[in-house]
Amino acid sequence: MFKHTNRLNNETSPYLLQHAHNPVDWYPWSDEALQKAKGENKPILVSIGYSACHWCHVMEKESFEDEDTARVMNENFVCIKIDREERPDLDHIYMDAVQAMTDSGGWPLNVFLTPDLQPFYGGTYFPPQRAFNRPSWKEILTAISTVFREKRNEIDSQAKNLTEHLQQSNSFGLQAGDQRIFSSDKIDDCFQNLMNDADKEWGGFGKAPKFPQTFSIQFLLRYYHITKNEESLNQATLSLDKMIGGGIYDQIGGGFARYSTDNEWLVPHFEKMLYDNALVISVLSEAYQLTKKENYREVIEETIGFVERELMHANGGFYAALDADSEGEEGKFYVWSFGEVKNLLGDNADFFSEYFDITEKGNWERKNILWIKKSLEKFAEEKNISIDEWRSIIKNSKEKLLQERSKRTRPGLDDKILLSWNALMNTACSKAFAATGDEKFRQLAIVNMQFLLDNFSNQNNLLHHSWKNGKSKHHAFLDDYAFLIQALIQLQEITGNVDYLRKAKGFGEYVIENFSEKETGFFFFTSLDQKDIIVRKKEVYDGAIPAGNSVMMYNLHYLSILFDLPKWRDRVGKTVSSLGNAITKYPTSFGIWACLLQEIIDGTQEIAVVGKNFSSLAALILAEYIPNKILMMSEKSSENFPLLANKGNTDSALIYLCKAYACQQPVASLDELHKLLKYQE
C-alpha cells in the first residue's frame, strides 16, 4: 500500500506516525539509533516537532517526502524523529542549543549531533530551494556531511564548547538568597513592571504574536484583591474580555487557539492545545469568583464543553491537541464566507454578521473569522433588541453554524494523552466547580483523576508521561509530578477527600528524592534514572505552561502547612529568595513565582469547615475569591491533619479561620467569615 515504511510505523505518537511512510529512514529516539551512530561513526540528525505544528507539515511535504532529499539524509546521517510533547526533555536541551547558535528557535527544530549526542549545528525550518540568501535543506545536509568527514576535530571542539555552555547556563539558583525579596514593595515593583509591558488598549502584554499569559492575569487579580488597585483589575479584565471577544476564541464551538498573530486577537494560530484551554479556564474561574461577570461563566462552560466534545477519551482522559490545518489549509475548518452565514441563518443573518464582523470581503484572506467588536449589551441597545432576545438569537445561530461545521473535514487530532497537560485540565475543572458550583465539573475532575491514577502510576509512586492505546510510556518529568500534585490538592479542596492529599504528599516525597538539586533546592526536569541526555535541565521560567519548579514550590508551600513540614516551607523560601529580583523585574516570565511570592508575603489563610452538613457551607466559601488560602472540610475532627485537629464535633458546620494553626473563634456563616478576613487585612 505504501511505497516506503520506516521504524516510526511502530510508534503511537500521531506526529511520528505522520512520518512513518517518508522515504527518510527515520528512527525514534532509541538505543538502536544511538548505537548505530556510534558504530558507523555518523552524525545524528534530530528533527523535532509536534502534530499540530504547521511548518512541521510544510517541511515534511517539501523535503522529507522527497526521495532525492531522503537519499542524502539516509546516506550521511542517522535520522531521528522526536515528538517534542513526548520527549520535552530532549526538546529543551536541543532548543537551547539552537537558540545559542542562532539567537532564534521554533519548530520544526532540526539539530545535528555528534555520535555522543553533543549538538554542533542546527536551525528551524529550512526551505527546499535556496531563497533570500538562505541555503536549501539539501545544501545544508551536503555541507555538514562534508565538514563532519573532513574537519572532525573542529566539529568535536564546537560541540564540546556548546555542551559546556548548556551546562553553565543551567547553573541558576547557586547565588545566595536575598531576603529583601520578601517585602510588599517588591510586589508593587512586580505590578509596575508588568503594567509597563501591558497593552492598555487591546489587553494582554507585549506585541504580536500575543499569547494568553494567564499567569500575569492571575497575578493582577490577586494584586487587586490585596491592594484594591483598580488599574490592576481593569487590565486583567480587559485582557480576558478582548481574548473572549477575539478570533483566538472559537466563537462557534468554544475553546482557545494557541496565540494571536496580531495585537487585536483577531487572527489566531488555529491549533488548539489542551494546556492553553486548561490555563484559561483556571484564570477565568478566578475572575468569575471576583467579578461575577456572567460572560466568564459562559465561556468556562463553552470551553469545557469543547474539551469534552473534541478532546476527551471515553474513559476520562484528555487528548493533547487539534491541528491548525485541515485539507492542507490553516484555519479552513473555522472560517466562514458571508454567503454561507446568510444561507444558514436567514432573517437573523444580518444582525449576527454585523455582531461577529462577517462581511462579503472578509476580515482574513477573503474569509471571516468570527470576533466581537461591541459588547452584547451595547449592540442590543443599538438594535433595540432585548438582551434576552439577542442572547437567544446568538445561541440558536451558533448551534446552526456548529452543526454545519461538523460536516467539514476536521483538523487532525493528536490523540496521545499527556499526564502533565491532563493534570492542568484537572485543576481547571476543580477551579471551575469551585467558581460556578456546577456539579458536572467536579465529576469530570474526579473521573479524569481516576483515569490518571489508574493508567499513569504504579505502586512505587513512579509515574509515566504519555499514554495511548492502553500503554503508558516514558518516565514522567518534573512537570508531570508537579502538575499532578497540584491537581490532587485542588481536588481535595472541592471534595474533602483527604486520600488525594496523602497521594500528593507521597508524590512530593518522590520528587524530593529523585529530582532534587541538593545544592540549590531547585528540581531538575528529569529524574535520577534518566540516562539518555547530556544535561539535566532546570526549568525555572513560566512560559506557555508554568515551570515545574514554580508549581512544585507552590505545592511544597501548601503541603508544608497541611502536614506541618517546616523543612519543605524553608526550601520554598530558599529557592524564591535565590531568584532575587528576577521575579520582580521580569514578571511576564515569572508569573507563578510572583503569585507565590505574593502569598508568602501576605500570608496564607487556613480555612477549615468542620461539622455536619459541611459541604453546603464549604461550597459557599469555594465560590468566593479568596486566592491565598488552603481549605479542608470534614464532618469530624481529625488528628491526622493539624488544620482539622481539635475542632468541635457540632450539630452544624462551623468555619475556622487560622494562621500558623492558631484559629480564631469559629463562625457559622459566610458573612461572619468575611468580617474575620476583612479584620485581618
Q: How many CB atoms lie within 10 A of CB 495?
A: 19
Mean pLDDT score across all residues of the chain = 94
The pLDDT of residue 609 = 96
Q: Answer whether 388's CB lies under 8 Å from 297's CB.
A: no
* CA Rg value for the chain: 26
Query: Which DSSP symbol is given to 258?
Result: S
For the chain, the domains span: 7-168, 179-328+414-602, 334-407, 605-680
**Measured distance CA(82)–CA(57) in Å, rounded:** 14
The pLDDT of residue 457 = 87
Report the candidate in 29, 45, 8, 36 with the shortest Cα–Cα distance to residue 82.
29
pLDDT exceeds cutoff 90 at 414: yes
The grid coordinates listed for 367 are 474569509
The grid coordinates listed for 223 are 494584586
How much of the chain is helix, strand and coil, in % rounded to 5? 50, 15, 35
Query: Which DSSP symbol is given to 650?
Result: -
Q: What is the pLDDT of residues 246-266, one digit of tens each?
A: 999 999 999 999 999 999 999
Q: Answer whether 563's CB lies under 8 Å from 504's CB.
A: no
pLDDT exceeds cutoff 60 at 484: yes
Q: Which helix (H) or strand (E) holds 47?
A: strand 44-49
The pLDDT of residue 516 = 97
- Report the topology of domain 7-168: Glutaredoxin (3.40.30)
Query: What is the mean pLDDT of the segment spanning 468-481?
Result: 95
Identical fold between 7-168 and 179-328+414-602: no
Question: What would the 3-class secondary structure string for 420-436 be?
Answer: HHHHHHHHHHHHHHHHH
- Beta pairing class for 417-418 and 413-414: unpaired
Name 134's bridge partners. Answer: 131
Query: Which DSSP symbol is given to 312?
Result: B
DSSP code per residue over 405-461: HTTSPPPPEE--EEHHHHHHHHHHHHHHHHHH--HHHHHHHHHHHHHHHHHHB-TTS
**Measured distance CA(344)–CA(404) in Å, rounded:** 8
Among 71-80, 229-238, 424-433, 655-664, where is mean pLDDT lowest?
Answer: 655-664
Among 51-55, 330-334, 401-405, 535-539, where is mean pLDDT lowest?
Answer: 51-55
The pLDDT of residue 681 = 61
* Distance, C-alpha 178 to centroid of its chain: 30
Q: Which helix (H) or strand (E) holds 670?
A: helix 670-680
Among 353-357, 408-412, 516-520, 577-581, where is mean pLDDT lowest?
Answer: 577-581
Question: Yes or no: is domain 179-328+414-602 CATH 1.10.260.40?
Answer: no
The pLDDT of residue 173 = 55
φ, ψ (nearest 5 deg) of residue 321? -170, 160
